A and B are shown apart, each in its own frame.
Chain A
Amino acid sequence: KNEVEQSPQNLTAQEGEFITINCSYSVGISALHWLQQHPGGGIVSLFMLSSGKKKHGRLIATINIQEKHSSLHITASHPRDSAVYICAAAESYNTDKLIFGTGTRLQVFP
């Protein structure tokens, strides 16, 4: 069993739909990262959170430390949101100790 698990592995949606990607982890963490990997491979850091909720544009990330669970939500999805979304758990306060999930591939169709 992986220490960081994401679901679903693949997700398709119609433009405008509300999307949720889930991340569960089995280790104690200091923070959780959400990353976006574009089709070409480049990766962008979306969020880093250790409690509560963060919002950036149409993206919302939440974390429940007690339940060891985080979600990434996309409101009013758009084809340009199509990407692989990766969560990564930071075991310590050092960024070098990240444990990555295998990602959720999202495709949004017009």
Chain B
Amino acid sequence: SQTIHQWPATLVQPVGSPLSLECTVEGTSNPNLYWYRQAAGRGLQLLFYSVGIGQISSEVPQNLSASRPQDRQFILSSKKLLLSDSGFYLCAWSVKGTDNSPLHFGNGTRLTVT
């Protein structure tokens, strides 16, 4: 069966520090991968999605970047965190090549920038 791992679960980082959140998927190959952010009191916002190794699309300009060094690994990074980067970050995957494939979410990382 397919599983998705996301870590860490919680993170408190000072402004200006770097960030690295990691997500890995097991039990499937060549998935579409996604990073979402949920700010307090707001809906989910798509940050990045990837259809393959090294292929990253950004939905919103921001202080964050994403990389996909391996087929089932998706990393969200920042060189210098801002207060506005605080939020709940969710990684997700879906099956490629299927119209409207359901999204499968990780458990999320709650990031607090102080």
Interface size on A, residues (CB 8 A): 24
A103 CA / B107 CA spacing, docked (Å): 17
Counting CB contacts under 8 A, is B74 at the interface?
no
A96 touching B32, Cβ below 8 Å: yes
Which residues on B sit within 8 Å (CB–CB) of A44?
105
Which residues on A sit within 8 Å (CB–CB) of B100?
30-31, 48, 50, 90, 93, 95
A101 touching B43, Cβ below 8 Å: yes
Which residues on A sit within 8 Å (CB–CB) of B72?
none
- What is the 8 Å Cβ interface bit string for chain A, positions 90-103, against chain B (1 contact, 0 not)? 10010110101111
A51 to nearest B CB, angstroms? 12
Interface SS of A by simple majority: strand
A45 touching B43, Cβ below 8 Å: no
A41 touching B108, Cβ below 8 Å: yes
A88 touching B44, Cβ below 8 Å: yes
**Size range of the interface on B?**
20 to 34
Contacts A95-B32, A96-B49 given; indicate if A45 touches B104 (C-beta within 8 A): yes
Counting CB contacts under 8 A, is B75 at the interface?
no
B44 touching A86, Cβ below 8 Å: yes
Please report which residues of chain B, range 59-114, place their CB below 8 angstroms from some CB of chain A when the two chains form the complex.
88, 90, 92, 94, 99-108, 110
Contacts A41-B110, A42-B107, A95-B32 given; indicate if A100 touches B44 (C-beta within 8 A): yes
Which residues on B sit within 8 Å (CB–CB) of A30?
99-100
Residue ranges of B at the interface with A (Cβ–Cβ < 8 Å) = 32, 34, 41-46, 49, 57, 88, 90, 92, 94, 99-108, 110
Residue pairs across A and B with Cβ atoms less than 8 A apart, 19 shown, are A31-B100, A33-B102, A41-B88, A41-B107, A41-B108, A41-B110, A43-B92, A45-B104, A45-B105, A86-B44, A93-B100, A95-B94, A95-B101, A95-B102, A96-B32, A100-B43, A102-B41, A102-B42, A103-B43
Residue ranges of A at the interface with B (Cβ–Cβ < 8 Å) = 4, 30-31, 33, 35, 40-45, 48, 50, 86, 88, 90, 93, 95-96, 98, 100-103
